[in-house]
Structure 1
């Protein structure tokens, strides 16, 4: 879609022109501005930015032609988006969103926030940043300071409304014939020791596992999901944070991730870090268990980027795939009476079983077993999911 290359001093004139064109197209060019004088000042400032070791100035190229400007500052504490402008000819093609998403992934890998400033009279940019999960953290003159972190994004996705409607007692993934085999297998794998659930959520598995006599702890990033768990059990110890980096007190014989949750980590680096975090929590010979779906790419017809996962009265699940980045967005359509409908969306990074095994090796695990479900059904080429048990070597 686009590529970035470091700007040179010879690009300064183009950078000035693209800023003028983008600002003019937004109707935000100051009345009576002396464009010649402004352009000369901007070119001089761009020359300084090219030589400034504290910032990175890029030319955005689309179809191998210069089409925009990007300026980013990086410190050990923050990634800061100092400015992004695209020529009107390439706007509304998702390029700005893709650039910001890439910066979000960078900030996530470095475990720092992504920050930017936006003018209060720029509603289009503000709508984009709000949609991408930025929140206001301060003001500087005529600008608002916005910040994005992984925690903010996850709490936006898994908010109080989602948490309140997450549990479906006795149906779906909360049905006894689903919970029973899951808890029985996890209790067996814990082998009399302590268990730690990554992304414990509302306690769908942790609460009954604790009731079966297994000491359970958890890690959870969404405070709303944790609040819902506390309505059912207020004794399970839970560390608030990201399952890829957060440390829970103590040592465990079992760490587990259920119901595709590892795919909520949207980069390969985060997913590998999750394995390494599991290893940090385990005693020698301990196990890490992952329940995960098999990507359904064989169901994608040529040129069609989506599959219908579920279609039943009141609910449709539609998955859209980005096969280059191994990303899938699940679109959840819930229907009420008449024409009423509600849409929820969750992003994921899908993982092939072989890639999952390699991640395990990088963290010091070996594959002990793999089945199609918690009951021990053999895993085959036609299985749509798997329960993989890794042992810390």
Structure 2
């Protein structure tokens, strides 16, 4: 367990101690290091940071004890990590990852990038940052400038290679048996009005729904997926706003907003998922509907101590899901096999949502549950249903 709190003058000696301990454990203190002079400069700089309204200096506490230092700057253009050090005794416990992940979520909600610098002689920190999706954007003397943004992360996950292989016409989720009932039900729920698809992707549902006669718009964060959509429909037929479905605004009002194929779980925090509901409400006319297709978390298949389940084991394809039940996170590992020993791996992270939690998110945004079925053909939803289609109605007030 960890938490961060604002530092005070009483923490300055500790902040110096933990910075020295972390740097020394990495073997990065110079041979001619003058500790007394460094501590004097550090104390002065820390007091300035405490008083500076543009920055926040934190103490990281682990299990109720001081264990680290964090300094963050925030502007309308970016969130920047100016420094993070953890005592060697608490490293490799996921604390640094949790802090940076929380800052990524903050930056995503604000629609700005998260920035930091890393010393070129600090390979451990670099590996962590790269694992979290930071990329190099510049250099600053002996340091590299790294940056993470939600848009860049989504473009990395849903890149041109993925987009080109995403469509499987007539097969799987592109089969007529799947798309037919989906389009018919959405057209019924649109009730003669306009529809907006969050995370429209390559237009798997939007294109046939538009051809069915429903005016469709979209929001999409992946440039590559949108390029695939444009091979099927132009911007006049299906206008799309490039942006985050939790915050981006499409022009006009709609009688239906919809999210299909588990896509709300691509938002990796509860806060972002709640904002997605609120963004749907902003787009809808009074009494409009928000429809979500989502899988039910499969934790009943997860024995104690076993962190993964096999979702699919077909010739040429295996789906393995690994769970972090504390954060409600799951990473889907997609293994595609070719001839001989040829294999390709893709990963997609998700935050799973229980149906009751989804209903509470809806209430926070002014919706009530109108119906819930196991599929698009209105099959009864039961305790054994692997997924659901939930229809929420916005208040007419």
Give me the TM-score of the superposition, normalised by structure 1.
0.93
Tell me which residue corresponds to 1:265. 267
Query: C-alpha offsets along residues 45-90 of structure 1, whole Å, 9 cap, x if unaligned?
Result: 2233334343222222334433322111233443211101122333
Paired residues, what number?
A: 393
Q: How does 1:314-325 map to 2 (within 5 A)?
A: 314-325=316-327
Q: How does 1:1-393 map to 2 (within 5 A)?
A: 1-234=1-234, 235-393=237-395
The answer to which of 137-146 and 207-216 deviates more is 137-146
Matches of 1:75 and 1:333, distance apart in 2: 41
User: What is the CA-CA distance between 1:29 and the residue it aligns to?
Assistant: 2.2
Q: Provide the aligned C-alpha RMSD in A.
A: 1.9
The answer to which of 309-318 and 17-26 deviates more is 17-26
The answer to which of 4-13 and 176-185 deviates more is 4-13
The answer to which of 235-244 and 321-330 deviates more is 321-330
Matches of 1:63 and 1:191, distance apart in 2: 54
User: What is the CA-CA distance between 1:249 and the residue it aligns to?
Assistant: 1.5
Q: Unmatched 5+ residue regions in structure 2?
A: none
User: What is the CA-CA distance between 1:258 and the residue it aligns to?
Assistant: 0.3
User: What is the CA-CA distance between 1:313 and the residue it aligns to?
Assistant: 1.7
Query: C-alpha offsets along residues 95-133 of structure 1, whole Å, 9 cap, x if unaligned?
Result: 221211111112223333222122334333233222212
Matches of 1:50 and 1:42, distance apart in 2: 12
User: What is the CA-CA distance between 1:384 and the residue it aligns to?
Assistant: 0.9
Matches of 1:13 and 1:89, distance apart in 2: 18
Give SS of 1:304's match.
Answer: coil
Matches of 2:25 and 2:341, distance apart in 1: 38
Quick one: structure 1 residues 71 and 218, their matched pair in 2 at CA, closer, same or farther if it must change by over 3 Å?
same
The answer to which of 143-152 and 133-142 deviates more is 133-142
Matches of 2:53 and 2:89, distance apart in 1: 31
